[in-house]
Amino acid sequence: MLRHDWTLDDVRQIHDLPLPELLYRAQGVHREHHDPAAVQGCALLSIKTGHCPEDCAYCPQSAHYKTELEAQRLLDVTETLAMAKAAKANGATRFCMGAAWREAPRGPEFDRVVEMVRGVRDLGMEACCTLGMLDQDQADRLAEAGLTAYNHNLDTSPEFYGQIITTRTYQERLDTLARVRLSGITLCCGGIIGMGESVDDRLGLLLQLARQDPHPESVPINSLVRVHGTPLEKLPPVGALEFARVIATARIIMPTSIVRLSAGRLELSDEGQALCLLAGANSIFLGDRLLTTPNPEASHDERLLSRMGMRLCEEPMTETRPPS
């Protein structure tokens, strides 16, 4: 039974279980709803890079910080679709296009993104975008083009959020999520651990997600990629056991969602990543680049999955209505 009335106490009790008990429960829930030997491979592409007006303290693309980043205007449709094709050939069934915008633009740039979405869907892949805030008309146009999912992270608890981002509010994030939901596009919404937050902040984020009805279909759990020049560059890395606890808790409270072991895998050993997959994550990003930072090589992931006796899903996993 899916629950939407979780409290912080409930979630804290789950998170703090002895690790063997936590993993046992997470695995039970996982196999009730998913194939435990299969993970979805997704690929990311930064379609517009850098010069972002927001001040997200973790982000190399914010114009507020001096990072070694090469900015790039919006890519063209052909380049983007070539990358999507290559990602498909590498085993990805979902293609996520990210843009460093505070909010999606209106006009020809938006039209171009809509065309990218149609093109990715025509390849038979799931299409996901993360473009910042959307108005209803933009959400509806993306839905019409067949967009499978919109990624818009809440990042952390409402209480800790203000220490990470000051240029937009938690409520603005929630408002965009509500518009996406209304348009019929599925939600991809998660956050980042390792930004100096408390365990209650991590659980406060999960609570925000698990109290939604329906739960976001996709929940990316990132650990901070510490980028030189950002205010968070000197924070300590998140350990694999902590990462796995957050994933297992997400798996238990949102049983049918796809929980994605997202940014931060390079900081983990193979065994650390294995633990996160055993804790109930069922998706990874494939390819040696996330948006702007490195990710394990596809060949390394292939080896890891094969050593675990696991495999990439061959078919898309999220149903959406066809483009109209």
96 is catalytic: yes
Contact 106, 117 (CB under 8 A): no
Active-site residue, selected from the candidate residues 42, 94, 112, 128: 128
Q: Which does 43 bind (CB under 5 to 8 A by kind): ligand SAM, ligand DTB, ligand SF4, none?
A: none
Span near ligand SF4 by CB under 6 A; candidates 57-65, 82-90, 171-179, 300-308: 57-65
Site size with ligand SF4, rule: CB under 6 A: 9
Contact status, residue 295 vs residue 21, Cβ threshold 8 Å = no
Nearest to 220 by CA among 266, 184, 264, 159: 264
**Cα distances (angstroms) measured from residue 257 to each of 218, 220, 253:** 5, 10, 9
Based on its alpha-carbon atoms, the radius of gyration of the chain, rounded to whole angstroms, reads 18
**Dist CA 161 CA 37 (whole Å):** 35
Of 52 and 247, which has the nearer Cβ to ligand SF4?
52
132 binds ligand SF4 (CB under 6 A): yes
Shortest reach from residue 295's CB to ligand SAM, in Å: 11
Cβ atoms of residues 314 and 284 within 8 Å: no
- Work out which of 61, 80, 249, 295 binds ligand SF4, going by CB under 6 A: 61
Residue among 39, 74, 100, 263 that touches ligand SF4 (CB under 6 A): 100
Kindly name the residue from 42, 188, 276, 313 that is annotated as catalytic: 188
Return residues touching ligand DTB (CB under 6 A). Answer: 44, 60, 96, 98, 130, 151, 153, 190, 220, 222, 225, 262-263, 290-293
Q: What angle do CA 14, 17, 22 make, to 5 degrees?
A: 75
Nearer to ligand SF4, 54 or 301 (CB): 54
Q: What are phi and psi of 97, to 5 degrees?
A: -110, 120
- Please name the residue that has the structure tokens 């990072």: 67
Instruction: Check residue 56 for interaction with ligand SF4 (CB under 6 A).
Output: yes
CB 323 to ligand SF4: min, Å:
26
Residue (of 135, 81, 128) closest to 106 by Cα position: 135
52: DSSP letter: B
SS3 61: coil
The reply to whether 128 sits near ligand SF4 by the rule CB under 6 A is no
Catalytic residue from among 3, 12, 25, 59: 59
Q: Is 129 a catalytic residue?
A: no
Least Cα distance to 188 among 154, 158, 163 occurs for: 154
Identify the sign of the CA torsion 299, 301, 307, 311.
negative
Instruction: Determine which one of 42, 94, 96, 141 is catalytic.
Output: 96
Beta strands at 38-48 and 218-223: parallel, antiparallel or unpaired: unpaired
Nearest to ligand SF4 of 44, 52 (CB atom) = 52
Whether 59 is a known active-site residue: answer yes
Pick between residue 91 and residue 190 the one whose CB is nearest to ligand DTB.
Answer: 190
Shortest distance, CB of residue 250 to ligand SAM, whole angstroms?
15
Annotated active-site residue 276? The verdict is: no
Closest by alpha carbon to 203, among 254, 166, 239, 167?
Answer: 254
The 3-state DSSP class for residue 308 equals coil
User: Is 128 noted as a catalytic residue in this protein?
Assistant: yes
> Residue 62 binds which one of ligand SAM, ligand DTB, ligand SF4, none, with CB within 5 to 8 A depending on kind?
ligand SF4
Please list the active-site residues. Answer: 52, 56, 59, 96, 128, 188, 260
Per CB under 6 A, residues contacting ligand SF4 are 52, 54, 56, 59, 61-62, 100, 102, 132
